[in-house]
Amino acid sequence: MQQARNPLHGVTLESIVTALVAHYGWVGLGERIPVRCLTSDPSVASSLKFLRKTPWAREKVEGLYLFMLRDIKRAASPSIKG
């Protein structure tokens, strides 16, 4: 059960891109990962086509997705201040 601890297991690339766009918007996503498919006339379809062929860009997108999940989780949990 190695995949049990992998937060990307079972998550499609399309779901990742869609969630990032919903959270950051295309402009914010393009600022964080400056690749043409995210900055110039972006769409989910064109982004998926590029990301599937470009491993380094896909890694950046997956990394930003994991960062976004941690950020959301952190914001949702009440902070304890003493």
Q: Is residue 25 part of a domain?
A: yes
Identity of residue 69: L
What CATH number does residue 21 fall under? 1.10.720.30
Q: What is the pTM of this model?
A: 0.86
Q: How confident is the model at residue 62 (pLDDT cuts 50, 70, 90)?
A: very high
CA distance 34 to 26: 11
Range of the domain at 20: 13-74
Q: Is residue 82 part of a domain?
A: no
Q: How confident is the model at residue 77 (pLDDT cuts 50, 70, 90)?
A: confident
pLDDT for the residue 5: 80
- Enumerate the H helices of the chain as residue ranges: 13-32, 36-39, 44-53, 55-76
- Total domains in the chain come to 1
pLDDT for the residue 6: 83
Tell me: pLDDT of 4 over 90: no
Mean pLDDT across 46-65? 96
Q: Is residue 70 part of a domain?
A: yes
Q: Is residue 4 part of a domain?
A: no
Residues 49, 22, 18: CA angle, nearest 5 degrees = 25
